[in-house]
């Protein structure tokens, strides 16, 4: 049975703890140069909330699964080329019954993460409801669960290639690639929106591969 999580509904904070509200207020006031809206989409229980919490707070939400109700958000400011970029990250409920709530938030979202299963269906939703120039990334989460793996890394890469989206395997539990996934999206959004003259075109695939190589050899971004 799933228990209800504190969520932000369309008309305000429904059930949030005072700590959550204070944290949100603090991050709202943090200085930034430009803000982007990023949404996490995918089936229920794939780990969207956990990926977000790992990125925001560096912690893993283990224990009983608590499904998101409606939609929730967290902010984090990241630095890209000396520019402060605020990512306003919306955590959507994967359960079908909340789909109409999440649709309302698609419109001005610039970045999207979609998870594997029923990828085609999620992409169709994104193309239907989001802006045309939306940045999409496919995450295969729970990469730490090697024994339960159902899709190989190669299959994931092949699928992502077919749809023309970057792909990363992440683990909210160990933290692997979570920071890198958000950094890559922030960089792509920054370069699309603020292209400096004579700056080479940013290639998200190349960035991800170079950062992975760096972390393999010298412990870079997780």
Ligand X SMILES: Nc1nc2c(ncn2[C@@H]2O[C@H](COP(=O)(O)OP(=O)(O)OP(=O)(O)O)[C@@H](O)[C@H]2O)c(=O)[nH]1
What DSSP designation does 46 have?
A: S
Per-state percent for the chain, helix, strand, coil, to nearest 5? 40, 20, 40
* Binding flag, residue 142, ligand X (CB under 6 A): yes
Q: Please compute, for residue 46, the number of CA atoms within 13 A of its CA located in the half-sphere on the CB side.
A: 25
Rounded least distance, CB 125 to ligand X, Å? 14
DSSP string, 83-131: EEEEEEEEEE--SGGGHHHHHHHHTT--EEEEESTTHHHHHHHHHHHS-
Range 22-61, binding ligand X (CB under 6 A) = 42, 44-50, 61
Q: Which is nearer to ligand X, 47 or 111 (CB)?
A: 47
**Whose Cβ is closer to ligand X: residue 32's or residue 42's?**
42
Q: Give me the least distance between CB of 66 and ligand X, in Å please.
A: 6
**Beta bridge pairs of residue 169:** 140
For ligand X, the binding residue among 130, 165, 172, 208 (CB under 6 A) is 172
Q: Does 62 bind ligand X (CB under 6 A)?
A: yes
Residues that bind ligand X (CB under 6 A): 42, 44-50, 61-62, 65, 67-68, 93-95, 141-142, 144-145, 171-173
């Amino acid at each position: 049975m799933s228990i209800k999580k504190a969520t932000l509904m369309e008309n305000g904070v429904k059930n949030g703890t005072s700590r959550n509200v204070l944290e949100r207020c603090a991050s709202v006031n943090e200085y930034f140069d430009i803000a982007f809206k990023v949404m996490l989409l995918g089936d229920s229980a794939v780990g969207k909330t956990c990926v977000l919490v790992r990125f925001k707070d560096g912690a893993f939400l283990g224990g009983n699964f608590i499904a998101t109700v409606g939609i929730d958000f967290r902010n984090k400011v990241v630095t890209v080329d000396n520019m402060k970029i605020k990512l306003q990250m919306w955590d959507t409920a994967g359960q079908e019954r909340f789909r109409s709530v999440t649709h309302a938030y698609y419109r001005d979202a610039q970045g999207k993460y979609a998870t594997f299963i029923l990828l085609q269906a999620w992409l169709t939703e994104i193309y239907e409801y989001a802006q045309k120039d939306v940045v999409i990334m496919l995450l295969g989460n729970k990469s730490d669960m090697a024994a339960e793996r159902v899709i190989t890394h190669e299959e994931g890469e092949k699928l992502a290639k077919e749809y023309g989206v970057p792909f990363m395997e992440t683990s909210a539990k160990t933290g692997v690639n979570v920071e890198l996934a958000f950094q890559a999206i922030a960089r792509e959004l920054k370069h699309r929106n603020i292209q400096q003259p004579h700056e080479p075109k940013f290639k998200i695939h190349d960035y991800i591969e170079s950062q992975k190589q760096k972390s393999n050899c010298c412990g870079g971004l997780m």
